Homo-oligomer: A and B are copies of this chain.
Amino acid sequence: MASRTPSTTADRDDRTAAAPGAGRPASGDRPRRRLSVDERREQLIAVALELFSRRPPEEVSIDDIAAAAGASRPLVYHYFPGKQALYEESLRRAGRELSARFEEPMEGPLSERLFRVMGRYLDFVQSHGPGFAALLRGGSVAASAGTSAVIDEVRRAAHDQILGHLAIPSPSAGLRLTVRAWIANAEITSLEWLGERSLPLEELQLHLVQEFVAALTLTAAREPALAAELAGFFADERPDGPTGRLVRDLAGLLAVPGIVEAVTALATAAPGAAVAGPVVPVAVDEPSAQATADSAPSSNG
């Protein structure tokens, strides 16, 4: 990733490109000065990131990037071997920027910390998502080992940040899986949202945080060590924070006719012989015959 030293030809090219009228200038009407090698490289990446954030890679050409940077096509090729390299470098910058947004002081209720992070994350999704959505969804023509590595790194950064805030010395495999699954949930939900925008962004932000609280609670229900930690997290939460609102929403659900009765019946019922395992074993072949036999006595109403 070291910058190359431009040849004399490229220097000349650079001067030409920066001359008035040689393309759309990147820096408006400010007085022109010759960009250094590093500055030019950074400028090309910034311009490319801007374009790749708005459109899928197949709709961005080297000519588009050169025009937006006020540079010539050969100049762009002098710094980068081709569009894919520039795309990957842009993505790397975007990944670094996104990972930086995950950083949050270790202060205040956990759900409020996550809420702030998700605000910054969703802002990033809005500004960079349209162009990178295809890549994240899979099947982009620009997908490569390089883009994959960047995406993995961002996911790992998110994972590490969350586990850092949970501050649990030895997180279980179950908890790690919960965190990764929630990250996937946040990713897919925000990408879907980008396409539909079917609810206000602030609601999405709140829902994602509440889903994390719920996923953590479910995991704690299976893991006694985590349950003890959960008590501490809940004790720090505030009524007007995401967890407080979630608790009240769920309490409100219990007022819906029939729900308290059904939940109470399930909570207090003496389960049958199958209590050690769920009703239906993992069925591989002919599972519907098995299923029908098992569920026959149950009514479907």
Contacts and interface: CB of A to CB of B under 8 A. Distances in A.
Contacts of A291: 104-105, 107-108, 112-113, 116
A284 B177 contact: no
B279 A238 contact: yes
A122 to B, nearest CB: 7
A73 B140 CA distance: 30
B300 A236 contact: yes
Contacts of A144: 139, 141
A224 B256 CA distance: 9
A261 to B, nearest CB: 8
A116 B119 CA distance: 38
A10 interface: no
Given A137-B148, A227-B253, A278-B115, A193 B177 contact: yes
A235 interface: yes
Interface residues of A, number: 119
Contacts of A265: 239
A248 B267 contact: yes
Interface in A244-267: 244-253, 256-259, 261-263, 265-267
Nearest to A127: B284
A188 interface: yes
B116 A287 contact: yes
A98 B71 CA distance: 50
A177 B269 CA distance: 33
A288 B151 contact: no
Nearest 7 A-B pairs (CB), nearest first? A139-B148, A108-B295, A231-B258, A173-B198, A234-B262, A239-B269, A184-B188
Interface of A: 104-109, 112-113, 115-116, 119-120, 122-123, 135-141, 143-145, 147-149, 151, 173-174, 177, 180-182, 184-185, 187-189, 192-193, 196, 198-199, 201-202, 205-207, 210-211, 214-215, 217-218, 220-222, 224, 227-228, 230-232, 234-253, 256-259, 261-263, 265-267, 269-272, 274-275, 277-284, 287-288, 290-292, 294-295, 298-301
